[in-house]
Amino acid sequence: MSSETLDSIVILVGVLAASCFVIGLHYMNSPATARTGNRISAAGMSVAVVVTFLALVAREGGLSSEGLIIIVGGFLVGGAAGLFLALRVAMTAMPQLVSLFNAVGGGAAALVALFDYGHVVGTPEEDVSTAIFVVLGVVIGSVTFAGSLIASGKLQGLISGKPIAIPGGQVTTAVLGIVAIAGTLVLVLGAGESPILDLSSEVKILALLVIFAASLTFGVTMVLPIGGADMPVVISLLNSFTGTAAAMSGFVLESPLLIIAGALVGAAGGILTKLMADAMNRSLLNIMVGGFGGGEGTQAAMASEGGTVREVGVDDAAIQLAYAQNVIVVPGYGLAVAQAQHAVRELGDILEARGVNVSYAIHPVAGRMPGHMNVLLAEANVPYPQLKEMEDINPEFPRCDVALVIGANDVTNPVARTDPSSPIYGMPILDVDEAKSIIVIKRSMGRGYAGIDNTLYTNPKTGMLFADAKHGLEELIGAVKAL
């Protein structure tokens, strides 16, 4: 086959695959079609990979046996590892797995750019635009690689979820930035047929390796100071980075498919990151500066000025729930940490069997990622029509007899509406305080990661049930059954 025909086929298949990605993402608009969407996207990916492979074999000169071994062997090894992890991971550990896949994707993009530079350096193909895209691919890819590994380690508990101060902090960041910019200048000014700087290929490759090392270090120092509770936003941002890195390697390899797919993901991650940051009423800059979110385990005692707290016993709570007409469950981070999603579903089933209307109020950032709570509850077989988003459920609270808050804190704090001096003022919250009565299952009076007191807990309508989410729910289930 002539190489022109081959090129045309590859481009056309690229268009087909890119269309599959766009259509697949579009189908993710609705839970009913989302799975089909993912499969369309996967089909596009499979066709693209297979046709690229065939084109590499069929082109002039063919594929070397080493290349064949690397592609087939590498695919089997990587694919098996990915398959194993994807099938084995518990749904609660899913954010760190997404982060790990993010890391390898970014790493691959960085390696592709590194390799390509080594290949074209010193040849006429090494022009200014190639140098720029190589640097971008290497920088973004390796920042993502290192940063995602750290984020994954933090979520998995391998690295402390608390913000870790970097010695020298901003100075370190500034030095790394200067090193990367200097290296970039060397590559860009040294590129082209009549370069401004006439450097040997070895010097330029060395400069690229220095940029590579500086970017890896930067990825680590960027994520370490950020608290565990902010990790979802970071993962989302890094997801966007990986997409961009893939697009950059698309520019380097001059492959339209890589450019389109990478840009799509770059845009997706960007939107998601913004949505999440908005829902927390925090600017991205604020999060990236770090040190704010202590994550889990902020155990500050509640200030005494806030009024009295009424404790409620398991039996009282069970009676309130069992004889209510409408119950709204407000699950939060604490539920995810305690892995209590099955217990909450069981309680919901028992209450429904007694004729109680149960729905679930899902704050956009409940859990560890936007929509993570939906996944956890879906895993526990809670039918998704019962899961209500914030805008839909807020008007329902005044009509609700009991709001059951499980491990959710800041997203229920009324000061976000009432106190302009509060750090969370303006953050969209669930209007739990408007319910006729409120039961809060919580381990202690500890603050949420915003580190402020929740006036919901001192509301006269609120009864506090101090227990671990899972344990408390199991006791409630027992008590309701005994009624």
Partner 1 sequence: MNGEISLLGSLVIFVLAILVGFEVISKVPATLHTPLMSGANSIHGIVLIGGMIIAATASDLLGYLLAAIAVVFGAMNVVGGYVVTDRMLQMFRKRPATPKADPGKEA
Residues annotated catalytic, as ranges: 410
User: DSSP labels for 363-392?
Assistant: -TT-SSSTTHHHHHHHHTT--GGGEEEHHH
Stretch that binds partner 1, among 21-29, 172-180, 294-302, 449-457 (CB under 8 A): 21-29
Stretch that binds partner 1, among 194-202, 270-278, 299-307, 466-474 (CB under 8 A): 270-278
Q: Is 219 in the site for partner 1 (CB under 8 A)?
A: no
Tell me the residue type at 200: S
Among 153, 225, 227, 243, binds partner 1 (CB under 8 A): 243
Residues 319-338, interacting with partner 1 (CB under 8 A) = 325-326
Contact 176/147 with Cβ under 8 angstroms? no
What is the number of residues in the chain?
483
Q: How far is the CB of 153 from partner 1 (least distance, A)?
A: 17
Among 254, 300, 395, 418, binds partner 1 (CB under 8 A): 254
> Mask 125-164, x = binds partner 1 (CB under 8 A)?
----x-----------------------------------
Residues with Cβ within 8 Å of residue 304, at least 6 apart in sequence: none
Q: Is 8 in the site for partner 1 (CB under 8 A)?
A: yes
Collapsing DSSP states into helix, strand and coil, what is residue 330?
A: strand
Eight-state DSSP code of residue 414: T
Q: Name the residue nearer to partner 1 (CB basis): 145 or 449.
A: 145
Q: Using CA atoms, how far apart are residues 111 and 42, in angstroms rounded to an integer?
A: 24
Q: Is 344 in the site for partner 1 (CB under 8 A)?
A: no
Residues 355-414, interacting with partner 1 (CB under 8 A) = 355-357, 359, 362, 364, 367, 369-372, 374-375, 378-379, 381, 383-387, 389
Q: Using CA atoms, how far apart are residues 144 and 233, in angstroms rounded to an integer?
A: 14
Q: Is 205 in the site for partner 1 (CB under 8 A)?
A: no
Residues 272-311, interacting with partner 1 (CB under 8 A) = 272, 275-276
How far from 320 is each of 300, 438, 470, CA to CA, in Å? 30, 10, 19
Residues 62-81, interacting with partner 1 (CB under 8 A) = 63-64, 66-67, 70-71, 73-81
Among 164, 191, 234, 258, binds partner 1 (CB under 8 A): 258
Collapsing DSSP states into helix, strand and coil, what is residue 443?
A: coil
Q: Is 168 in the site for partner 1 (CB under 8 A)?
A: no
Q: Name the residue nearer to partner 1 (CB basis): 115 or 466.
A: 115
- Binding-site size for partner 1 (CB under 8 A) equals 132
Alpha helices in 121-200 (DSSP H): 128-156, 170-189
Backbone angles phi, psi at 83, to 5 degrees: -60, -45
How many CB atoms are located within 10 Å of the residue 238 CB? 33
Among 158, 196, 271, 300, binds partner 1 (CB under 8 A): 271
Q: Position of tokens 């398991």?
A: 314
Q: Name the residue nearer to partner 1 (CB basis): 278 or 468.
A: 278
Residue 473's closest CA among 350, 309, 323, 297? 350
Stretch that binds partner 1, among 109-117, 160-168, 189-197, 418-426 (CB under 8 A): 109-117
Q: How far is the CB of 303 from partner 1 (least distance, A)?
A: 33
Q: Using CA atoms, how far apart are residues 160 and 257, in angstroms rounded to an integer?
A: 39
